[in-house]
Copies of this chain bind each other. A is one copy, B any other.
């Protein structure tokens, strides 16, 4: 039975719990062990490159320290922090949710749109799209204009966030021609199904997609 550790690199337990819930379907249907862990001493939200850099080392160490207990690892932050360093720390497969979410979207649709939290992450995202070599397939990446904290319900509550995400999603579909969307954050799972229902195109939650890829890699014994 494959065992996968999904690592939330920030220190916000609500995000860790949200990711844990997001994986219930995979856990139940496939009968696999999916543990979700957070880190301590890391930023509460990962919203800058310095935050990304700060968690790379702790991620690699955590992966290294738990290598024996798991068959695959997922780094659950849309900047894929520490991904390549963690791969040096284990022969087991390590998947990042940004790259895995985007590759999953590429397997499903033609023109990918990304719903990001804030505009500050866009340069980081575009560097990743180019580094992955898939930039021509990412049609647009639009920010909701929120903070990580807002995801749990900001001043206008979850409904406000839901509306904001739908607005961005509609622009991705109608103005940019996207036919598959990726949520650009580990903490947006609760909005996935309503967004998909509202827009009529598949919406990929990157933590779910990466965990699916990690399960497959674990079963097939594919290292990264």
Contact = CB atoms under 8 A, between A and B. Distances in A.
Nearest to A59: B53
Contacts of A52: 85
Contacts of A109: 123, 224
A40 interface: no
Contacts of A48: 85, 88
Nearest to A223: B202
Per DSSP, chain A at the interface is helix
A49 B84 CA distance: 6
B220 A49 contact: no
Interface string A175-210: 001010000000000000000000000101100110
24 contacts: A1-B29, A30-B31, A30-B32, A49-B84, A50-B85, A50-B88, A53-B53, A84-B124, A84-B127, A93-B108, A103-B106, A104-B213, A107-B217, A110-B126, A111-B123, A119-B177, A130-B131, A130-B136, A131-B131, A134-B134, A204-B222, A208-B216, A212-B217, A212-B220
